[in-house]
């Protein structure tokens, strides 16, 4: 029986990861790292109130078998440029480095379609830089998820994203060949793929949106 480490359990993808881990018999313990205390009554769950600005203080907690990293922010929620960089770039790199040093077997990360360390935009650049660091760390199993627009019920309202999803849904039938990866994808599908990657021996490490769908339907 395995121990899962979950960062971002209250988010759109992370919430589905948590629910699916609870139902998964491969896991006897789920450590969830949260900023403030939350009420969750399940014998599998261990809630770790986390100081994300001093993640090194939680080195002893970041021990287990599979680490699922689903934390992300927006420029609106983190208008300070340094804070945005800390959450999107520095935090996932630090968590991955600690996990690797603690011999965590697998690391599965929610990145983004078109992530690129050389991108002119911070969001895609930071995601790309995290991907590069994860590859360098050489985990036994690595999953880099590159979803398109995520479908599901967010706690926060993102008007621009809602418009984008509506437009992309209308255009989805036209997304063929290389454009298939632009189709919106449900957050529960991403979560299912993440857990599958941690529990199977797959040759691939980077999964575009359409490949995530294929992985969960096979």
pLDDT at 82 over 70: yes
pLDDT at 164 over 60: no
- How far apart, in Å, are the Cα atoms of 169 and each of 165, 176, 189? 6, 13, 16
**Domain residues for 57?**
2-217
pLDDT digits (tens, 9 = 90+) for 44-73: 999 999 999 999 999 999 999 999 999 988
pLDDT digits (tens, 9 = 90+) for 34-44: 998 777 888 99
Instruction: Give the separation between CA 156 and CA 22, rounded to whole angstroms.
Output: 24
What is the pTM (predicted TM-score) of this model? Answer: 0.88
* Kind of pairing between the strands at 150-151 and 141-146: unpaired
pLDDT at 176 over 90: no
pLDDT at 161 over 70: no
Closest CA to 92 of 119, 111, 114, 113: 111
pLDDT at 188 over 90: yes
**CATH number of the domain within which 160 lies:** 3.40.50.720
* Burial (CB count within 10 angstroms: exposed 0-12, middle 13-18, buried 19+), residue 157: exposed
- What is the domain count for the chain? 1
Lowest mean pLDDT among 49-53, 76-80, 142-146: 76-80
Query: Which of 108 and 113 is assigned the larger pLDDT?
Result: 108
pLDDT at 165: 52
């Amino acid at each position: 029986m395995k121990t899962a480490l979950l960062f971002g359990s209250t988010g759109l993808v992370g919430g589905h990861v948590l629910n699916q881990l609870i139902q998964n018999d491969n896991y006897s313990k789920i450590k969830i790292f949260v900023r403030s205390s939350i009420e969750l009554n399940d014998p599998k769950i261990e809630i770790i109130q986390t100081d994300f600005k001093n993640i090194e203080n939680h080195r002893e907690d970041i021990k287990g078998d599979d680490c699922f990293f689903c934390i992300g922010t927006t420029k609106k929620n983190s208008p300070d440029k340094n804070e945005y960089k800390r959450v999107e770039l520095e935090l996932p790199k630090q968590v991955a480095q600690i996990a690797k040093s603690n011999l965590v077997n697998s690391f599965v990360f929610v990145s983004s379609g078109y992530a690129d360390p050389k991108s002119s935009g911070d969001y895609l650049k930071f995601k790309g830089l995290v991907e590069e660091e994860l590859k360098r760390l050489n985990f036994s199993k690595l999953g880099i998820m590159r979803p398109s627009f995520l479908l599901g019920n967010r706690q926060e309202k993102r008007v621009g994203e809602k418009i984008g999803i509506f437009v992309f849904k209308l255009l989805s039938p036209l997304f063929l060949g290389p454009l298939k990866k632009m189709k919106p994808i449900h957050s529960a599908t991403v979560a299912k793929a993440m857990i599958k990657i941690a529990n199977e021996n797959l040759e691939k490490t980077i999964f575009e949106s359409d490949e995530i769908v294929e992985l969960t339907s096979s």
